[in-house]
Amino acid sequence: MISVENVRHSYGKGGRTVEALKGVSTSFGAGTTALLGPNGSGKSTLMNIIGTTIVPTEGRLFLNGVLVGRSSLEEYRSQLGVVPQHIDLPKRMRVCDVLSYLCWVHGVPKASAASVIDSVLERLELADKRGSRVGDLSGGQLRRVGFACAMVHQPSVLLLDEPTVGLDPEVRLEIRHLIARLATNATVVLSTHLLEDVSFLNPAVVMINAGEKVFEGSFEQFVAALPAGGDVRESSVEQAYQQMLRGGAASHQGPLAGESWSEQR
Ligand SMILES: Nc1ncnc2c1ncn2[C@@H]1O[C@H](COP(=O)(O)OP(=O)(O)OP(=O)(O)O)[C@@H](O)[C@H]1O
Ligand SMILES: [Mg+2]
């Protein structure tokens, strides 16, 4: 489990300070957690803090209850697999060479690299693309190669930044199935705008708005917070999302009003 405690982060922008995260505490346990929020709410900032590419202005990060500090940073990073939104790999490289390179980067022993690559390609249904050049892959295949790159060192945590954006509906569905499979034995944190992803995956939900956490709980709790008599043109997940943006669960007189979200997970 990954936890963040009172994480704040500010960026300097054109002589002024943008407070991207205003003291967020939350946790991401086994299985999938969807990190939701509108543009500019701080999702990528939080993902980058968990991924250790940003050092927060304030706050602490824990893996399984143990503080991630200077001395444990390398060990923590070895547990992480990161799939960025834009998979940018050299177009002329073959898939197997990309993965061999990543095995070397992650210190996978040379003797086991070939079998690691075989098993990752098998798991991602990419075995027939082992010799293909990156530039010849479809969008969905490239995304799956991005997942493979993040998995050669068998991380226990996968960070996926908007993994289904920009893909056609069929490939989106394929990627959702893949995420569901991966989450059976890993902690998966998925930032997304697409509420269909959330409905499909039935994940834990953390929602932030303007740098503050406005919801944390199960998918059922998220949907249960939707207002009565909502607009029938919107799905229940869309209505719950809008409700959180308007005032959050605290103002909702549903079954969870007044309770602490974090204690329910
Ligand atoms: N490098 C940066 N320099 C200055 N301000 C930044 C930087 N990165 C993000 N911000 C600001 O921090 C806030 C949070 O941005 P962040 O990218 O974390 O949001 P997000 O939820 O990921 O948005 P999106 O859904 O558009 O990807 C925004 O106001 C954004 O303008
Ligand atoms: Mg973002």
Q: What's the 3-state SS for the chain?
A: CEEEEEEEEEEEECCEEEEEEEEEEEEECCEEEEEECCCCCCHHHHHHHHCCCCCCCEEEEEECCEECCHHHHHHHHHCEEEECCCCCCCCCCEHHHHHHHHHHHCCCCHHHHHHHHHHHHHHCCCHHHCCCEHHHCCHHHHHHHHHHHHHCCCCCEEEEECCCCCCCHHHHHHHHHHHHHHCCCCEEEEECCCHHHHHHHCCEEEEEECCEEEEEEEHHHHHHCCCCCCCCCCCHHHHHHHHHHHCCHHHCCCCCCCCCCHHHC
CA of 165 to the centre of ligand 2 (A): 11
Is residue 61 over pLDDT 80? yes
Per residue in 75-129, pLDDT tens?
A: 999 999 999 888 999 999 999 999 999 999 999 999 999 999 999 999 888 999 9
**231 falls in which pLDDT band (50, 70, 90)?**
low
- Per cent of the chain over pLDDT 70 is 90
Query: Which pLDDT does position 85 carry in this prediction?
Result: 81
Per residue in 158-175, pLDDT tens?
A: 999 988 887 888 888 888
Short-list 185, 135, 200, 195, CA closest to 162: 195
CA of 75 to the centre of ligand 1 (A): 28
Q: What is the mean pLDDT of residues 233-249?
A: 74
Provide the residue type at 78 as one letter: S
Query: Which pLDDT does position 164 carry in this prediction?
Result: 86
CA of 47 to the centre of ligand 2 (A): 8
Query: Which pLDDT does position 248 carry in this prediction?
Result: 62
Q: What is the mean pLDDT of residues 221-238?
A: 69
Best residue for ligand 1 mutational test, from 4, 8, 13 (most atoms within 8 Å of Cβ): 13
Contact criterion met (CB below 8 Å) for 147 and 98: no
CA of 45 to the centre of ligand 1 (A): 7
Give the nearest ligand 1 atom to 9 CA.
12
**260 falls in which pLDDT band (50, 70, 90)?**
very low
Best residue for ligand 1 mutational test, from 8, 22, 39, 192 (most atoms within 8 Å of Cβ): 39
Closest ligand to 45 CA?
Answer: 1
Per residue in 178-200, pLDDT tens?
A: 899 999 989 999 998 788 888 88
Give the nearest ligand 1 atom to 13 CA.
4
Closest ligand to 42 CA?
Answer: 1
Domains of the chain listed by start with CATH number: 2-79+156-218 (3.40.50.300), 87-155 (no CATH)
Give the nearest ligand 1 atom to 162 CA.
27
Contact residues of ligand 1, CB 6 A cut-off: 11, 13, 18, 20, 37, 39-45
- 168 or 18, higher pLDDT: 18
**249 falls in which pLDDT band (50, 70, 90)?**
low
